[in-house]
Amino acid sequence: MDDSKQYSNKMIESFIAKPEKTLWYQNAFSKFNVNGVDAMKWHWSWWAFGGRALDLFRLQRLQSQARRNRIQNTGRGQTR
């Protein structure tokens, strides 16, 4: 292993401060170095939309459950 690679690995280790995650970050950062040239590319993340959509779904579900509980507690949903 050359000195620059070893230095980069030590810097990642010291910045991450979680030994169990260091290898994952080293692999992720190695994708930026293609044929010895450092290059950064944007990557699409569905979590930006999937996470927010899931939050909205949960909010709607909680609201519908609260509405259902209110109807059941007031007796409007029962036949007499």
Structural contact between residues 25 and 12, judged by C-beta atoms closer than 8 angstroms: yes
Nearest to 8 by CA among 29, 31, 24, 35: 29
Instruction: Determine the pLDDT at residue 17.
Output: 82
Domain holding 76, by residue range, is 45-80
Question: How far is Cα 45 from Cα 31, in angstroms, rounded to an integer?
Answer: 16
Say how many domains are in the chain: 2
pTM assigned to the model: 0.38
The mean pLDDT of the chain is 79
In the chain, the largest separation of any two C-alpha atoms, in whole Å, equals 83
25 lies in the same domain as 49: no
27 lies in the same domain as 54: no
49 lies in the same domain as 26: no
Instruction: Determine the pLDDT at residue 62.
Output: 92
Q: What is the pLDDT along the chain (80 residues), one digit of tens a residue?
A: 578 778 888 888 888 888 788 888 888 887 777 777 777 767 666 666 667 777 888 899 999 999 998 888 886 555 54
